[in-house]
């Protein structure tokens, strides 16, 4: 089997599983996008996926993405940053990525607002599993405090929220983390008038079915598409 066949088979299987989960949740399958998480995999693999219509990608490190991606202008793929961003790499990141899904502090949002071209889309990352090793706003209060300011930044378009489920958690702990993000999302909608706020990025290879049951609009899948990371 060629690599293209392998990737096509994996994508087709995941699309089927997304469809099953969306049916189980009583949701329209078109409300869920599949992001291929291409970190550690070479550009050639991304190009093969693009051939079969998979055009949304996630990368977690600025340096790695810089080494393998074509410039944003004229690129057919959409590539989002999903890993922690250090302020000193923010300028590079906005020139390289179509969206930053991992804005995890007010300080980083201020930095992005000072140098991003308008309108620049972002997601805010929330730590819903209380794991100290994770990035993201630690509580709804922290998030709301930051949003009071970020919502007024004219060049940043806040498109939604992102979270990671607890790694190796039980099914109920994972679901709790996802439903927690969704309830925060609903309260943000009520409290802030954000025009383009409709993305709930949650779910990875091991837990995307649960994320879809809890309302995910974007599942971020790496190993189930590419195989184990190198």
- Interface residues toward ligand PLP, by CB under 6 A: 37, 39, 60, 82-83, 164, 204-206, 220-224
Q: Which is nearer to ligand PLP, 153 or 174 (CB)?
A: 174
Q: Shortest gap between Cβ of 171 and ligand PLP (angstroms)?
A: 16
Q: Shortest gap between Cβ of 78 and ligand PLP (angstroms)?
A: 16
The 3-class SS string of 99-163 reads: EEEEECCHHHHHHHHHHCCCCEEEEEEECCCCCCCCCCECCHHHHHHHHHHHCCCCCEEEEEEEC
Q: Shortest gap between Cβ of 73 and ligand PLP (angstroms)?
A: 26
Quote the CA–CA distance of 16 and 114 in Å, as a whole number. Answer: 42
Q: How many alpha carbons lie under 13 Å from residue 135 in its C-beta half-sphere?
A: 17
The residue whose Cβ lies closest to ligand PLP is 222
Q: Which is nearer to ligand PLP, 66 or 192 (CB)?
A: 66
Q: Shortest gap between Cβ of 221 and ligand PLP (angstroms)?
A: 5
Q: Which is nearer to ligand PLP, 155 or 223 (CB)?
A: 223
């Amino acid at each position: 089997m060629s690599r293209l066949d392998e990737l096509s088979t994996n994508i087709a299987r995941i699309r089927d599983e997304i469809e099953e989960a969306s049916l189980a949740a009583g949701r329209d399958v078109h409300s869920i996008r599949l992001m291929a998480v291409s970190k550690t995999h070479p550009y050639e693999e991304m190009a093969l996926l693009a051939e079969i219509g998979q055009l949304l990608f996630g990368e977690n490190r600025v340096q790695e993405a810089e080494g393998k991606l074509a410039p944003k202008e004229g690129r057919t793929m959409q590539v989002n940053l999903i890993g922690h961003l250090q302020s000193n790499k923010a300028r590079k990141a906005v020139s390289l990525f179509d969206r930053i899904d991992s804005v995890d502090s007010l300080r980083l949002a201020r930095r992005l607002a000072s140098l991003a071209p308008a309108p620049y889309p972002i997601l805010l990352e929330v730590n819903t599993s209380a794991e100290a090793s994770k990035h993201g706003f630690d509580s709804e209060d922290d998030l709301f405090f930051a949003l009071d300011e970020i919502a007024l930044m004219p060049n940043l378009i806040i498109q939604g929220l992102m979270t990671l489920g607890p790694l190796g958690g039980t099914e109920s702990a994972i679901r709790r983390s996802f439903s927690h993000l969704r309830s925060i999302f609903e309260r943000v909608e009520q409290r802030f008038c954000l025009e383009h706020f409709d993305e709930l990025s949650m779910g990875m290879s091991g837990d995307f079915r649960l994320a879809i049951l809890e309302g995910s609009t974007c599942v971020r899948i790496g190993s189930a598409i590419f195989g184990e990371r190198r």
